[in-house]
Amino acid sequence: MLNFLPQNVKESIRHLNAQKLYEIRLRADKPTTVNYEGQYRYLGVYGLTDFAEKAIYCDRDDIADCVFRAGKYSVYSVEEQIKKGFITAEYGERIGLAGEYVLEKGQPLAIRNFTSLCIRVPHEVIGCGAEIYQRCFSNRLCNLLIVSPPGLGKTTILRDLGRLLSKNTHKNILICDERGEIAQGETGTTCDVLRYADKWTAFDAGIRAMRPEIVITDELSTDDCKAVQRAIDAGIYVLASAHFSSIESITKPFFGVFERYIVLDGQEIGKIKGIYDKDGQKLL
């Protein structure tokens, strides 16, 4: 994992506990930072440092080389991902890209001259979805949405729920993995994976092709809710995630679609703050 990083960054993170490393940020000619144990710190030659002047600095060539290596030495092979502002490396590391957008008729054609990378480090935490499974799925299946700000464990929990549902229900599960993150790890023996397709394509073609009983996907947008509703109307259960900070911030298109809403704590990764019913009434 993280083999695409500059050598000095790779050497430095070997001094850290990989299970506590959640994110790496490379910015051209600026100090490298990491999210370690939920806090952002500078990354120095021998691990963490409190001083920017002692941090590792990368230039634009270092950043371009990272993208090149993460794309398996062929940017063309990941150009559709690049148009969406990210690429996914071999082990599910999602690399957000900042630089210059090239537009054609108002639509993104490419990103070039990369200046920053936001690298999210995937973790497999077996059992992290157990409490949600017990409280929401022990008696019957339901449609469920997990919400929190970015980087607080939604995707990791969805992966574990897929494993638990596969093990305990033996239902056919389709993982619509648009960013290639959910299916990095153990997903269960009855799970099928559709990678890198947008939600409309995945829900339309994937459901027709694979006939799932459960669909799991992440990072829903408002526009995606229509595709989710179509699947639910067809008798398919949907587990998904979205970026909201509280039950009050969830916008109208998402209400009435799901039967359970899980709000994660904004300060502690993977911690449940509340479980709510379809009307937003707190159950836990």
Look up residue 55 and give its DSSP letter.
B
Of the CA atoms within 13 Å of residue 102, those in its CB half-sphere come to 9
What pLDDT score does 104 carry?
Answer: 75
What are the angstrom distances between the C-alpha of 56 and each of 20, 76, 111, 119, 268? 19, 29, 25, 16, 27
What pLDDT score does 91 carry?
Answer: 85
Let me know: does 176 contact 217? Beta carbons within 8 Å: yes
What pLDDT score does 187 carry?
Answer: 84
Of 3.40.50.9100, 3.40.710.10, 3.30.450.90, 3.40.50.150, the CATH number of 7-120 is 3.30.450.90
pLDDT in 10s for each residue of the chain, 284 residues: 899 999 999 999 999 999 899 999 999 999 999 999 989 999 999 999 999 999 999 999 999 999 989 888 776 677 878 888 888 888 889 999 999 888 777 776 778 899 999 999 988 889 999 999 999 998 999 999 999 998 889 999 999 999 999 999 999 999 999 888 898 878 889 999 998 888 888 898 889 999 999 999 999 999 999 999 999 999 999 999 999 999 999 998 998 899 999 999 988 888 999 999 999 999 97
pTM of structure: 0.82
Number of CB atoms found within 10 A of residue 46's CB: 11
User: Domain segments of the chain: what residues?
Assistant: 7-120, 130-277
Report the alpha-carbon distance of residue 55 to residue 201 in Å, rounded: 43
User: Per-residue DSSP letters for 102-127?
Assistant: EEETTEEEEEEEEEEEEEEPP---TT
Report the alpha-carbon distance of residue 136 to residue 278 in Å, rounded: 12
Phi and psi of 76, rounded to 5°? -60, -30
What pLDDT score does 197 carry?
Answer: 86
Superfamily of domain 130-277: P-loop containing nucleotide triphosphate hydrolases (3.40.50.300)
Q: What is the 3-state secondary structure (H, E, C) of 136-198?
A: HHCCCCCCEEEEECCCCCHHHHHHHHHHHHHHHHCCCEEEEECCCCCCCCCCCCCEEEEECCC
Q: Which residues contact 70 (CB under 8 A, 6 or more apart)?
A: 4, 78, 87, 89, 90, 93, 95
